[in-house]
């Protein structure tokens, strides 16, 4: 199994913060994530699309490639230790605030690891948030979620419900109806990209 991999896009000056992008995956899969992974490629396109706007604000954009494709276990999910490892690498190299940006399974992972001290909050894009998904890790963090009504992979309604529950612990929590779009951030991609960049800036506000 390969190690998790970080791809970095950095502004010209030392960054004041990092947006860490976490890609999607599957409910169950022991297969390694490699350069052929469509989920990783979608996140890579997102990383490249939002980087110019965030670089203007002094924010680096890092992308994590998980070791395996699946969530795999409710108690010890496969991507969670990889995400914690990436947050530690940011702390060791830069020691700056972090905004987590997750799509689908990556958003669920981001919610789970948002209790790391460096994390200011989470931007969830079409997140996979099953009924009863815990919100405790979001205490005193900011949460921004966007979901399209044509999503047939993850649930618009469950994302709304999660945000409502998160308001009891989060510093702020907002849900954005992205309208007549599906799961994969392909339709109206420019609006997804603009929403993501703006939400990262919101999460990192002082």
Domain parsing of the chain, residue ranges: 5-203
What DSSP character marks residue 15? P
Query: To the nearest whole number, what is the mean pLDDT of the chain?
Result: 96
CATH 3.40.50.1820 matches 5-203: yes
The 10s digit of each residue's pLDDT in 54-92 is 999 999 999 999 999 999 987 789 999 999 999 999 999
What DSSP character marks residue 168? T
Given pLDDT bands bounded at 50, 70 and 90, which one contains residue 1?
low
Instruction: Provide the β-strand partners of residue 121.
Output: 99, 142
Query: What's the rounded Cα separation, in Å, for the pair 174 and 84?
Result: 24
Q: Report if pTM > 0.85.
A: yes
């Amino acid at each position: 199994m390969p190690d998790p991999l970080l791809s970095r896009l950095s502004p010209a000056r030392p960054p004041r913060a990092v947006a860490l992008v976490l890609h999607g995956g599957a409910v169950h899969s022991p297969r390694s994530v490699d350069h052929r992974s469509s989920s990783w490629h979608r996140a890579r396109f997102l990383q490249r699309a939002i980087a110019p706007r965030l670089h203007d604000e002094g924010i680096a954009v890092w992308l994590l490639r998980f070791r395996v494709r699946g969530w795999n276990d409710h108690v010890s999910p496969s991507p969670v230790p990889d995400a914690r490892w990436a947050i530690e690498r940011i702390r060791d190299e830069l020691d700056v605030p972090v905004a987590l940006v997750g799509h689908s399974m990556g958003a669920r992972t981001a919610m789970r690891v948002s209790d790391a001290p460096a994390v200011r909050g989470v931007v969830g894009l079409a997140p996979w948030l099953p009924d009863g998904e815990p919100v405790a890790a979001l205490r005193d963090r900011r949460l921004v979620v966007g979901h399209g009504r044509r999503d047939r992979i993850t649930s618009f309604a469950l994302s709304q419900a999660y945000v409502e529950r998160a308001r009891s612990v989060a510093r702020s929590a907002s849900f954005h109806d992205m309208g007549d779009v599906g799961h994969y951030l392909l339709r109206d991609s420019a609006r997804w990209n603009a929403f993501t960049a703006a939400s990262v800036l919101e999460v990192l506000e002082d």
